[in-house]
Structure 1
Amino acid sequence: MLLPAWELCLYGLLTVGSHLYAFYEAHQVSRKYEAAMDRRFGLDPGTLFRGLKKDPMDFEWSYWVEWGRERILWLLAGHLLVSQMSRLLVEKYKPWCLMVYGMAACWLLLGIKGFAVILLHAAISFAVAQFQLSLLTWLCSLILLATLRIPAVEETKRRWYDTENEYYLLLFTVSVRCLFCTSFCLEYCWHAPAQKSSHSFPWMLAYVFYYPTFHNGPLVNFDEFSKQMRRQEAFSVKTNLIIFIVGIIRIFFWWCLAELMIHLMYIHALYSSALPLESASYWALGGLALAQVLFFYVKYLVLYGVPGLLLRMDGLKPPALPCCVSLMHSFTKMWRSFDVGLHHFLVR
């Protein structure tokens, strides 16, 4: 039974009002301790919002925004161009065009050695999958992940790059690729010998080197990827253009909202300082806690929204974007509906 409309409106007003007041209190604390936070953490000068300083303490957001501006967005634009041209001209060979582009982008961004590491992981995983034992596939994946934490291997990989950020990019990419290799190899183990032709090593490479999901996900199971990639649909430039424009507007809005939050509230810097938290009111503490989880939500609308848009442009169905955490009353729902791709992977 639905609640009366007036009661729903009342609860909506109370929710929005309490959110805004809590954020206002958190903003006041941020302004009060701005000078102290700047001395301790070095607040960044505002770029999008002039006159405001920016909290740089969320490593994940700062890291991917920096890489996006430098190279990744340009490489994603290149993928979009190759994808649309292949859909228009050679739909049958689209997976292989995208595979070649993904391998070239990997080589360009991570270098020949980084490319070789990912290719080696894929080859080892595929070789182990020939035994058709799921347990052996899982053990192989765990061992490959464990090699990332061997000190001698870490130091060797660090020497390949000039900066720590480049090494971290390799580390993140290999970790995510390991999940994709696991998904492919498990499907290989589960399918009958007659279906092995659709689970060949070239198809594994097309899946592993698919560029929109290459560095940070979201995770797409191989069975979903292969079925949708094989499906040939009528290509409409007009429809794809509308999808692209609407998607770009939504992502730009989410990005602006995330930037506004860390310009108005120094969420992460304040959580690293005891004095402001001890002196803050309960409303301010609530506002900071709420802003923390909502920033995490908005951040992933951007980080998963960009590859999700490219998946749709390629004719694929991306995992659903995270649900708003303010609408959830159960942590079970939070897990299932925030990283939907990872949840589908675990269920599968």
Structure 2
Amino acid sequence: MLAGASWRLHKDVADFEWVMWFTSFRNVIIFALSGHVLFAKLCTMVAPQLRSWVYAAYGALAVMGTMGPWYLLLLLGHCVSLYVASLLGQPWLCLGLGMASLASFKLDPLISWQNGFVTGTFDLQEVLFQGGSGFTVLRCTSFALENCAHPARRYSLADLLKYNFYLPFFFFGPIMTFDRFHAQVNQVEPVRREGELWNIRAQAGLSVVAIMAVDIFFHFFYILTIPGDLKFAGRLPDSALAGLAYSNLVYDWVKAAVLFGVVNTVARLDHLDPPQPPKCITVLYVFAETHFDRGINDWLCKYVYDHIGGEHSAVIPELVATVATFAITTLWLGPCDIVYLWSILNCFGLNFELWVQKLAEWGPLARIEASLSEQMSRRVRAVFGAINFWAIIMYNLVSLNSLEFTELVARRLLLTGFPQTTLAVLFVTYCGVQLVKERERTLALEEEQRQDKEKPE
């Protein structure tokens, strides 16, 4: 922990990523993004048709200045190899080569050899190396697959480089698929919708307020440090331990929303429509909607999960799709025991939802549900949603904290706290799921009414 200058309290600094963005390297990040915004604005005013080239040139120079020319050449080598593969028009070859390239940045001895291309040694070297390399491979793979899918267009190597070296997305994401980025960045005369600039200012202001709020919060609540002290955590009441587990996932969502909010504000100034922040964990009660990076989620769904799973209504194709998706996710996160466990648990959760759905459609059970009133049917589904909600929390707590802390929470909620704590936590969660489902139903009705009004008479 670090001492807080204003509050005379220690500050929770257990999250390296937050400290990096908003304390240690805040000025460097602001300087780099401000330079991008300045040059982008000048180019948009003078020669808007060249703005994609200016984005790429500034990004490439920033990468070279930060990581060195040899690292830039290394990434260019990966870009060229996937571009050449895309000319053959074989999607399986492009995806296979992309995963091989990604593996080369995740597994020794290739990762150590390629890390040697970085010039010098500095604090952020490992983070920038992994982020820049990993996102480069995903972007190049997206380009290659889109090139295979649209042989009549035949995108050029220059299109790939302009896509890959867009600085706001380069090191930390989020990732936009190539087709979306290419269509948006090549608008000759981009025009803002009415009120869009005000929305961008509001988003920027909200991000600043959120950063300040989290910084203040860290001086009073140590939700990231406490799970590392199992003796202290073990002395907490059951309800406090459940709240601590829930708070860790909420914080991870807040962090993702803030980090992507900062980058997305810059991207929206460039007339792009970047991936939105993920859904808050509070409104998630199904595994199918659980993700903490909407950009990577969209990438995986488009090129792997939806491509293999189709409508996601058949058991075997869904199993194959989820296994393939989480295999790539495991490679992206970096293969290790805790990532293997996280992937297996979430893969099981996603498939188990489909198995339960199929079981509910089985004749006898379907007739029982049909005999229930609409309100009672929703109550039954909310009970299962509450159980699923805590399964999502426990499965993801494994990767966010530790297996030992997850075991402590599970033991206290399911064994030593049974039945009082177990039923109390499930009841509170059940009420929350009911509120979320009612909100979803209201929004669906409003959307249906809006569509009915838009239909021609």
> Given the two structures, how large is their TM-score scaled by the length of structure 1?
0.80
Q: 1:68 to 1:224 in 2, by over 3 A?
A: farther
What is the aligned partner in structure 1 of residue 213 from structure 2? 257
Confirm whether residue 310 of structure 1 aligns to residue 266 of structure 2: yes
Confirm whether residue 141 of structure 1 aligns to residue 98 of structure 2: yes
Note the C-alpha offset of 1:201.
0.4
Confirm whether residue 163 of structure 1 aligns to residue 122 of structure 2: yes
212, 227, 242: which one pairs with 2:168? 212
Q: Percent identical across equivalent pairs?
A: 26
**1:286-306 C-alpha deviation (Å, 9 max, x unpaired):** 221122011101101111111
What is the aligned partner in structure 2 of residue 44 from structure 1? 2
- C-alpha distance in 2, partners of 1:114/1:58? 27
What is the aligned partner in structure 2 of residue 280 from structure 1? 236
What is the aligned partner in structure 2 of residue 347 from structure 1? 301
Note the C-alpha offset of 1:127.
1.6
- C-alpha distance in 2, partners of 1:88/1:342? 32
- C-alpha distance in 1, partners of 2:55/2:249? 35
- C-alpha distance in 2, partners of 1:119/1:72? 23
The structure with the largest alpha-carbon Rg is 2
Counterpart amino acid of 1:176?
Answer: F
**Number of residue pairs matched by the alignment:** 300
133, 136, 143: which one pairs with 1:177? 136
Verify the 8 A CA contact 1:213 1:307 in the aligned structure 2: yes
Q: 1:67 to 1:97 in 2, by over 3 A?
A: farther
- C-alpha distance in 1, partners of 2:104/2:295? 25
What is the aligned partner in structure 2 of residue 195 from structure 1? 153
- C-alpha distance in 1, partners of 2:122/2:48? 40
Note the C-alpha offset of 1:279.
0.6
Counterpart amino acid of 1:127?
Answer: V
The answer for unaligned runs of 5 or more in structure 1 is 1-42
Note the C-alpha offset of 1:70.
4.0
User: Higher relative CO (CA 8 A, sep ≥ 6), structure 1 or 2?
Assistant: 1
- C-alpha distance in 2, partners of 1:152/1:226? 31
Verify the 8 A CA contact 2:20 2:26 in the aligned structure 1: no
What is the aligned partner in structure 2 of residue 12 from structure 1? none
- C-alpha distance in 2, partners of 1:239/1:266? 39
- C-alpha distance in 1, partners of 2:162/2:269? 17
> Given the two structures, how large is their TM-score scaled by the length of structure 2?
0.61
Q: 1:347 to 1:155 in 2, by over 3 A?
A: closer
Q: Secondary structure at the match of 1:267?
A: coil
What is the aligned partner in structure 2 of residue 7 from structure 1? none
- C-alpha distance in 2, partners of 1:156/1:195? 33
Verify the 8 A CA contact 1:88 1:235 in the aligned structure 2: no
The answer for unaligned runs of 5 or more in structure 2 is 303-457
RMSD over aligned CA atoms reads: 2.3
Comparing 161-170 and 85-94, the one that deviates more: 161-170
- C-alpha distance in 2, partners of 1:340/1:153? 27
Counterpart amino acid of 1:253?
Answer: V
What is the aligned partner in structure 1 of residue 82 from structure 2? 125
Comparing 285-294 and 218-227, the one that deviates more: 285-294
